[in-house]
Amino acid sequence: MSIRNIEKFRREIGLFLAPVLSALIYVAPIDLPKDAHIVFSIMVFCIVFWLTEVVPLSITALLGVTAAVVFGVVNVKQAFLSLGHPVILLFIGSFLIAQAMTKHGLDKRFALNLLSKDFFLKSPIRLIAGFSIIAFLLSMWVSNTATTAMLLPLVLGIIHMFKNRGITETGKFASFVMLSVAYSASIGGATTLIGTPTNLIGAGFLKEEGYDVDFLKWFLLAAPITFLSYISMLLYIKFHIRNFYIDYEKIKALIKEEKRKLPRISTAERNTIFVFSFAAFLWILPGFANLLGNKELYTFLKAHIPEAIVALLAGILLFLLPSKKGEGTLTAKDLRELDWDTILLFGGGIALGKLIIKTGLAGYIGKHVAGVISPEFVVLFILVLIVSMVFLTEISSNTATVLTFAPILIGILKQLNVEIFHPVFGIIIAASFAFMLPIATPPNAIIYGSRYVPIGRMVKVGFFMNIIGSVIITTFILIYMK
Residue 452 domain flag:
no
Which carries the bigger pLDDT value, residue 249 or residue 474?
474
Q: Residue 377 pLDDT more than 80? A: no
Neighbours of 71 (CB within 10 A): 15
Is pLDDT above 80 for 444?
yes
Q: Domain check: are 269 and 296 in the same one?
A: yes
pLDDT, residue 236, reads 93
Q: What confidence category does residue 105 fall into, taking pLDDT thresholds of 50, 70 and 90?
A: confident
- Banded pLDDT at 375 (limits 50, 70, 90): low
CB count within 10 Å of CB 391 equals 18
Asked whether the predicted pLDDT for residue 418 surpasses 70, the reply is yes
> Do 113 and 240 reside in the same domain of the chain?
yes
pLDDT on residue 182: 92
Residue 311 has pLDDT above 70, yes or no: yes
pLDDT digits (tens, 9 = 90+) for 172-187: 888 999 999 999 999 9
Which residues lie below 8 Å from residue 197, measured CB to CB, with a gap of 6+?
91, 342, 345, 346, 399
202 plus 299 within the same structural domain: yes
Q: For position 80, what pLDDT does the model report?
A: 87
Q: Using 50, 70 and 90 to split pLDDT, how confident is the model at 424?
A: very high
Claim to verify: residue 27 and residue 93 sit in the same structural domain: no
Q: Tell me: pLDDT of 2 over 80.
A: no
Query: Do 174 and 102 belong to one domain?
Result: yes
Q: Which of 317, 336, 355 marks a domain boundary?
A: 336
255 domain residue, yes or no = yes
Number of structural domains in the chain: 2
**For 123-154, b where at least 16 C-beta lie within 10 A, e where not — what string?**
bbbbbbbbbbbbbbbbbbbbbbbbbbebbbeb
Residues 327 and 197 in one domain: yes
Same domain, 27 and 106: no
Residue 354 maps to a domain: no
- Confidence class for position 267, pLDDT limits 50, 70, 90: very high
pLDDT score recorded for residue 1: 55
Q: Which residue, 336, 361, 384, sits at the end of a domain?
A: 336
- Which strand (E) or helix (H) includes residue 458? helix 455-481
Residue 400 has pLDDT above 80, yes or no: no
- Stated length of the chain: 482
* Structure confidence at residue 348 (pLDDT): 85
On whether residue 396 sits in a domain, the answer given is: no
Instruction: For the full predicted model, state whether its pTM sits above 0.75.
Output: yes
Is the same domain home to 183 and 207?
Answer: yes
Q: Would you state the pLDDT for residue 167?
A: 58
Confidence of residue 25 (pLDDT cuts 50, 70, 90): very high
| 109, 73: one domain | no
The whole-number pLDDT of residue 406 equals 86
Q: Is residue 55 included in any domain, yes or no?
A: yes
pLDDT value of position 220: 94
Hey, how many other C-beta atoms are within 10 angstroms of the C-beta on 398? 25
- Model pLDDT for residues 38-78, shown as the tens digit of each residue: 999 999 999 888 878 888 888 998 999 999 999 999 999 88
In this structure, of 46-50, 153-157, 268-272, 282-286, the range with the lowest mean pLDDT score is 153-157
* pLDDT surpasses 80 at 473: yes
Residues 313-346 have pLDDT tens digits of 999 999 999 987 778 999 999 988 888 887 888 7
Range of the domain at 294: 86-336
Residue 67 sits in the same domain as residue 94: no
Q: With a cut of 80, say whether residue 295 has pLDDT above it.
A: yes
Statement: residue 134 has pLDDT above 70: yes
Asked if residue 378 is part of any domain, the answer here is no
Tell me if 13 is assigned to some domain.
yes
Residue 19 to residues 26, 73, 166, 234, 460, Cα–Cα distance (Å): 10, 19, 56, 45, 36
Residue 48 and residue 90 share a domain: no
Mean pLDDT of 161-175: 72
Structural domain ending residue among the three candidates 293, 321, 336: 336
Q: Render pLDDT for 120-131 as a digit per residue (tens, 0 to 9).
A: 877 888 888 988
Same domain, 207 and 224: yes
Mean pLDDT score across all residues of the chain: 86
Closest-CA residue to 65 (of 78, 83, 79, 46):
79
